[in-house]
């Protein structure tokens, strides 16, 4: 099939370093800005769900369905609203996917505070909202970061599909390589996507160590 084309043409990589860097940066924006947006939405939504538990079940059901929707189909359906080959077409669905992961982890995290801790807080004179903000929310940070890790890694790999609707960051390398029967960019794309995911994951692990120092103590 490759007709003598080598799997990797190293000099192509050397010649296109700047190009690859640009695509990686674009990919990071397309994939990770939605995760941050989802985090900004998940925290207040999670707080509301923790305060009013009846809210959670229907919301969880909706996001469950959203999560199961194939990304390409969702990108395509959005094109009339957000346009072909725009970032929004890809970023809006990715935000929804990330929210589908983050909302349950946020709610779980807020609920994970042991009952005696909650009681003690109430007995010391915290009102319900203040208690959520001062006790449950900080205690849920490890959960939130766990959710962020899953959401971010998924988002980075899903964003590549956006190339089929004209905006996919590193995903463009797959389309380009396929059309030219040229495997080098495809391999480069796979490796760069995986590396970006790995780097993000490492960053979040580090963030957890800084933001949730009490967990290290508990391990001892």
Partner 1 sequence: MIRFEGAAKRHPDGTVAVRGLDLEVPAGRTTVLVGPSGCGKTTILRMVNRMVEPTAGRVLLDGTDVAELPAAGLRRGIGYVIQQAGLFPHRRVIDNVATVPRLLGWDRKRARARAAELLELVGLPPETARRYPAQLSGGQQQRVGVARALAADPPVLLMDEPFSAVDPLVRAGLQEELLRLQAELGKTVLFVTHDIEEAVRLGDRVVVLREHGEIAQLADPHTLLTAPADAGVAAFLGRDRGLRGLGLRPAGSVPVAALDGRIAYEGWQLVLDPDGRPEHWLRGAERHPAPVFVPSRDSLRSALDAALLAPSGHAVAVDAEGRAVGTASRAAVVEALAATGPVGAPLPEQVPHAGR
Partner 2 sequence: MNWLGWLHDFFADPAHRSGPDSIVHRLLEHLAFSAEALGLSALVALPLGLLIGYSGRGLFLVTAVAGVARALPTLGLVTLAVLLAGVGDTAVLLPLTALAAPPMLVAAAEGVRGTDPDVRDAARGIGLTHPQTLLRVCVPAAAPTLLAGVRTASVQVIATATVAAYVGLGGLGRYVIDGLATRDYPTTVGGALLVVLLAVGVQLLFALLIRLAAPPGTRPGPRTRARRTGGAAPLTPTDPANPPALVKDAP
The alpha-carbon radius of gyration of the chain (Å, integer) is 21
Binding mask 158-197 for partner 1 (x = CB under 8 A): ----------------------------------------
Site for partner 2 in 40-69 (CB under 8 A): 53, 56-57, 60, 63-65, 67-69
Which of 13, 55, 190, 211 is close enough to bind partner 2 by CB under 8 A? 190
Residue 126 interacts with which of partner 2, partner 1, none, CB < 5 to 8 Å by class? partner 1
Task: Name the 3-class secondary structure at 107.
Answer: helix
Site for partner 2 in 114-133 (CB under 8 A): none
Q: Does 73 bind partner 2 (CB under 8 A)?
A: yes
Q: Which is nearer to partner 2, 121 or 143 (CB)?
A: 143
Q: Please count the residues of the chain.
A: 220
Q: Does 39 bind partner 2 (CB under 8 A)?
A: no
Which of 32, 59, 103, 121 is close enough to bind partner 1 by CB under 8 A? 121
Binding mask 25-54 for partner 1 (x = CB under 8 A): ------------------------------
End-to-end CA distance of the chain: 56
DSSP 153-197: HHHHHHHGGGGGGT--TTHHHHHHHHHTT-HHHHHHHHHHHHHHH
148 in Cβ contact with 102 (< 8 Å): yes
200 in Cβ contact with 156 (< 8 Å): yes
Which of 45, 91, 132, 165 is close enough to bind partner 2 by CB under 8 A? 165
Q: Does 219 bind partner 2 (CB under 8 A)?
A: yes
Task: Name the 3-class secondary structure at 104.
Answer: helix
Q: Contact region for partner 1 (CB under 8 A) — 6-14, 66-74, 125-133, 151-159? A: 125-133
Q: Quick one: tokens of 214? A: 């009490």
Rounded to whole angstroms, the Cα distance separating 184 from 81 reads 35
């Amino acid at each position: 099939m490759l007709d003598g084309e080598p799997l990797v043409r190293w000099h192509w990589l050397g010649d296109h370093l700047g190009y690859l860097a640009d695509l990686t940066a674009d990919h990071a924006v397309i994939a990770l800005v939605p995760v941050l947006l989802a985090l900004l939405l998940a925290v207040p939504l999670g707080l509301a769900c923790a305060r009013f538990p009846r809210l959670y079940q229907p919301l969880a059901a909706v996001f469950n369905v959203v999560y199961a929707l194939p990304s390409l189909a969702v990108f395509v359906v959005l094109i009339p609203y957000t346009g072909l080959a725009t970032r929004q077409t890809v970023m809006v669905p990715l935000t929804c996917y990330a929210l589908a992961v983050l909302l349950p982890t946020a709610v779980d995290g807020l609920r994970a505070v042991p009952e005696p801790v909650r009681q003690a807080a109430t007995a010391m004179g915290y009102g319900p909202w203040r208690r959520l903000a001062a006790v449950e929310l900080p205690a849920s940070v490890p959960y939130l970061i766990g959710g962020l890790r899953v959401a971010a890694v998924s988002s980075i790999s899903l964003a590549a599909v956006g190339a089929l609707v004209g905006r996919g960051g590193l995903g463009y390398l797959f389309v380009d390589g396929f059309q030219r029967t040229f495997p080098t960019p495809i391999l480069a794309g796979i490796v760069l996507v995986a590396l970006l995911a790995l780097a993000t994951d490492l960053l979040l692990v580090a963030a957890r160590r800084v933001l949730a120092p009490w967990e290290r103590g508990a391990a001892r």
